[in-house]
Structure formats: C-alpha cells, structure tokens
Structure 1
C-alpha cells in the first residue's frame, strides 16, 4: 500500500498533493497553538493567585504591577495589569474594563483551532471525490475487454482508486487527534484564567449587597397605617359604646317625660 501511495505522488496526481497541503497547514496550526497554550498563555496559576492576592489585599499596587509585568506580558497578567490601572483611575470601572479586555483576549485562545475539523473534512471529501473518479475510470477502462482481462483490470483500477480515500482518512485521523488534545488544553486554560480574574476582581471590585430600604419603609408604613386603622376602629367602638350607654341612661331616667303626640293632645 505504501508503494502505491509513493507511486501516486511520483506520478504527480493532484488530489494527494492537495491532501498533503491541507495536512501541512493543519500541523502548522497545531504546533503554533500548542506553543502558545503551553508556553505563552500558561503560567503557574496557583502561585500567581496567592501572590497577587496578598499584594492587592495589602493595597501594594506598585509591587503588584511589577509582579504582573515580570510574570508575563499577555494572558492573565496583562488583564490583571489593566484591572490595577482601572482601579487607580476609577474603582467603579474595574469590572467593565476587565470585561472588555477579556472579551478581546479570550477568542485568541481558540483562534484557528476550529479550522482543524474543517481541514479534516476537506481531506475526506477530496479523497471521496478521487475515489469516485478512479472507480468511474476503471469502469470505462474495462469496456470491450474479455472477461478474464476485465476482472484483472477492474480490480487493479479499483485498488488504485481507493488509495486517495485511504490517504484522506489517515489524514483526517492525524488532524482530529491533535484537535481533541488542543481543545482540552484550551478549555482548562480558560477555566484557570477565569478563576484568576475572579480572584482579582473580588479584591479590587467586590460586589456590594444592595440595601432594600424601600421594603422596610413600606412595611413600617403599613404597620403605622394598620396601627392607625386599629386605633381609629378602637376610637369608633368607644364612641359607639358611649352613645349606646347614653341612650340607655336616658331611657332609664324617671325625671324625663315623653312628649305626647298631637292626637293625644286633641
């Protein structure tokens, strides 16, 4: 099989060279992103978090700035430096500044990694096209031949036609395996960076718990209104009781006489 593959490249067929070009581009992306993710963006996050937390808690901004610059000029140290500058200028702008810079930086982590599945799919499709073309050529080549010669020629042409498909499948495997590794590295790096930014923001710009005074005042007003309402009801009850008592006293007083009606007078 390897001899046949070498013969295809020696004969100058186009599809194998295109597949090889796609694989070469893919591995350039793989090596670039592996170096960036492992040696440029990655730092000792545990040490960085503990050190920067102590410096920011002590309000030692100069040492914190020097420490971030000495650690790295990109990734989390760069975002931390932006947060320190925003804190010294306007503490209310720390979270907005970090959000803007994070949205600008985080897409760089996965940039060009998602092109690897596209290159693998393109390799498979090109191999399938070359295989279909080779099979079609084999059918046309055996027309008019005797049965024994036809079977031999068709089997030879079919094996030659399936070689580009085999090359494309191997190329797709060689591209997809590093893609899975790089995707896992990028996901873990993003999680560690988000944790570090959370540590910095919790010190420089802690979230303030809202004081809902409106609810307390409304409840107190409701209590006052209920007290007033109950007091008013009590006063009304006392007045009603006094009136009823006065009516009873008037009716029981013997000195008072009833006024006769007009018919009784006549």
Structure 2
C-alpha cells in the first residue's frame, strides 16, 4: 500500500497533496503549542507559590516584583506583577485587575489547539470525496468491457480509489493523538495557574467579612428603651384594680424582705 501511495503522490493527484498540506499545518500548530505550554507558560509552580507567598506576607513588594520579572514575562508571574501594581495603587481593585488580566490571558493557553479536530475532520472528508470520485471513475472505466476484464479492471480501480481514504484516516490519527496530549497539558496548566492566582489573591485581597459594630446591641437597647417607655406609658392608663395589685405586690415584697428579721421582745414580755 505504501508503494501505491508514493505512486499517487508521484502522479500529482490533488487531494493527497491537500491532505499532506493540512497535516503540515496541524503539526506546525502542535509544535508551537507544545513549546508554549511546556517551556514558556509552565514554571515551577510549587517553588513560585511558596516564594511569592513569603514575600507578599512580609509586605516586601519590591523583592516580589523583581522575583516575578526574573521568573517569567508571561503566565502567572505577569498576572502577579499586575496584582502587585494594583495593590500599591488601590488595594480594593486587586481582584478586578486580576480578573480582567486573567480573562485576557487564559484564552491564549488553548488558542489554535481546538483547530486540530477540525483539520482531522477535513482530512477525512477530503479522503471520502476522493474515494467516491475514484469509485465513480472505476464504474465508468469498466463500461463496455468483457466480464473477466471488467472484474479485474474494477478491482484495480477500487483499490486505487480507497488509497485517499486510507491516507486521510492516517492523517486524522496523526492529528488527534497530539491533540489529546496537548489538551491534557493545557488543562493541567490552567489548574496550576488558577491555584497560584488563588494564593496571591488570598494574600493581597482577602475577602472582606461584614462587620456589625453594635448593631444588634443598639437595636436591643432601643427595644428595651421602647419597652420601658411603653411600660411607663401603659402605667398611666391603669385603673384602680391595677393600682391595688401594684400596691399589694409592693407590700408582699416588703414583707418578704423583712420576713427574715426576728422581733426583739419588750422588757415586760421578758419578765
């Protein structure tokens, strides 16, 4: 089959050359994204996180800025530098600045990777078109021939017509395997970058908790004040029975308070 494929390219057929061009474009994308993901965007995230965390916790912004510039000019160090600049200008804008820069940078990680399945599908479709055209040419070629010659010519033409489809399937495999690898690398890189940004934001811009200073106490005091005022206002509207109950309650309290004291007997009672 390889000899037939070389003969097809030697004859200068169009569709196999188009498939070869598509595969070449796909592998340019593959090599470019592999270099970016593995050698440009990727850093030692564990070391970077521990070092930048110590510097930011110590509020040593100048050393942190120099460390990010020395580490990389893109990826997480670039976003960290933006966060430090925002923190020195306005600490309340750190999260908004990091969010804007992240939304601008993160699409670069997967840029052009998702074109590889489209290129593989285009190869398969072009191979199918070439196969259909070759089968149709085989039917046209065997018209008017004898039965023995017709079967030989048809099988020869059919085997030749299936070659573009075989080339297309091989090209699709060669494109989809690196696509799966690059997609896994990009997913892991995005997860590590998100973790690093979370570490930085937790130091530079921790979430503000709502502070209620005396809110509930003031309301309870006002409620108690309203209760006392309401009680005083309600006391003015008591009838005679209510006043008698209040006086009797007061007398009972007085009796209970003096109940524990023993009366001293007079001298006549002693005699």
Alpha-carbon separation, structure 2, partners of 1:240 and 1:151:
127
Deviation, 1:232, is: 7.0
Alpha-carbon separation, structure 2, partners of 1:168 and 1:218:
78
Q: Cα deviations across residues 105-124 of structure 1 (Å, max 9, x unaligned)?
A: 11110010011000000000
- Name the counterpart of 1:9: 9
- Name the counterpart of 2:162: 162
Deviation, 1:220, is: 2.8
Name the stretch that deviates more: 36-45 or 205-214.
205-214
Deviation, 1:90, is: 1.1
- Name the counterpart of 1:147: 147
| 1:104-119 alignment, distance < 5 Å | 104-119=104-119
What is the SS of the residue equivalent to 2:111?
coil
Structure 1 regions of 5+ residues with no counterpart?
Answer: 246-266
Name the stretch that deviates more: 37-46 or 222-231.
222-231
Alpha-carbon separation, structure 2, partners of 1:78 and 1:183:
23
Deviation, 1:49, is: 0.2
- Name the counterpart of 1:172: 172
Q: TM-score, normalised by structure 1?
A: 0.85
Q: Cα deviations across residues 101-158 of structure 1 (Å, max 9, x unaligned)?
A: 1111111100100110000000000000000101111111111111111111111111
1:149–1:211 Cα change, 3 Å = same
- Name the counterpart of 2:220: 220
Aligned residue pairs, count = 245
Alpha-carbon separation, structure 2, partners of 1:14 and 1:214:
82
- Name the counterpart of 2:70: 70
| 1:103-252 alignment, distance < 5 Å | 103-211=103-211, 216=216, 220=220, 223-224=223-224, 227=227, 231=231, 235=235, 239=239, 241-242=241-242
- Name the counterpart of 2:102: 102
Deviation, 1:210, is: 1.5
- Name the counterpart of 1:257: none
Alpha-carbon separation, structure 2, partners of 1:51 and 1:114:
35
Alpha-carbon separation, structure 1, partners of 2:122 and 2:236:
90
Q: Cα deviations across residues 154-194 of structure 1 (Å, max 9, x unaligned)?
A: 11111111110010011001000000000000000000001
CA RMSD, Structure 1 to Structure 2 (Å): 2.3
Deviation, 1:241, is: 2.9
1:163–1:212 Cα change, 3 Å = farther
| 1:7-86 alignment, distance < 5 Å | 7-86=7-86
Alpha-carbon separation, structure 2, partners of 1:102 and 1:227:
56
What is the SS of the residue equivalent to 2:239?
helix
Q: TM-score, normalised by structure 2?
A: 0.84
Q: Cα deviations across residues 33-80 of structure 1 (Å, max 9, x unaligned)?
A: 000000000000000000000000000011101110110111000110
Alpha-carbon separation, structure 2, partners of 1:139 and 1:29:
40
1:240–1:45 Cα change, 3 Å = farther
- Name the counterpart of 2:92: 92
